[in-house]
Structure 1
């Protein structure tokens, strides 16, 4: 037992402080975003009840790294029928899904630093829509390990992968 203890190197007290500082710095680096997005959201200021209400979301990956798992969309207004949302984009193989009051789309495509994506969501308001309709839309991105880039959003959330959201809010007044 004593022979095993002699094999361990002696650690000076000052090394503990340096090690703690290095660990804190490493933890801070781990909290840095994997990729940061600049988001713009365009929506009409007014719309008629029962009329169209379309949103254009643009997101640019400003880096510092690529994004391999990202979702565009968000929470649409209460006056919009989520099952009737249509979208237009130049990205091939885009899939969309509902999650509560949110509607998200993704493409199995890596966005390098400097790449951008634009998606137009075409919606229709119910005839009963009134007041101000609020939408919070943008992009969410997951920092995933290699091999996990094909997982669903639900699985990424369940496993606790780091996620960052970049969203904008648009308010549209309903007029009669």
Structure 2
């Protein structure tokens, strides 16, 4: 029962504080799942995030569904998804009924403007953690080149992020299939330590 309560509270906080949609929820999910409850490692969360971004639908519910299922089966998944969407549904009903009467107030516009830099810093922090992980795994030169190429593809060529992620996943699978002896050597080294 405590596990289900922890799942609910963790994803309820994400749903309540994930102002700005899915991308702003990712650092919050990371904080709950990796740092606070330790349901996953950094590497597992990075892999889950990469996979989740290749699938359609909101990222917060995909992460909640998988993590809830992993921690406590089907009921954990249902619990996590409901906890994630419940605050949004309730707040949307309340806000939509009163939004037209308060949207012109300066404090509402100021609140919206003040949240943007906070979300930007949260995303930048999470991005730096993933860059560090990639640098350690692939090497800093390859990571730098890949960052530059992806930035150009996204910003200048306007290629959809899903296409880039799917392409990189396919290339990684092809590379892995071509180097099975290297994977075996790495596994044996890890087993020796």
TM-score for both structures, normalised by structure 1? 0.22
TM-score for both structures, normalised by structure 2? 0.21
The structure that has the greater radius of gyration is 1
Higher relative strand content: 1
Question: Highest relative contact order (Cα 8 Å, sep 6+), 1 or 2?
Answer: 1
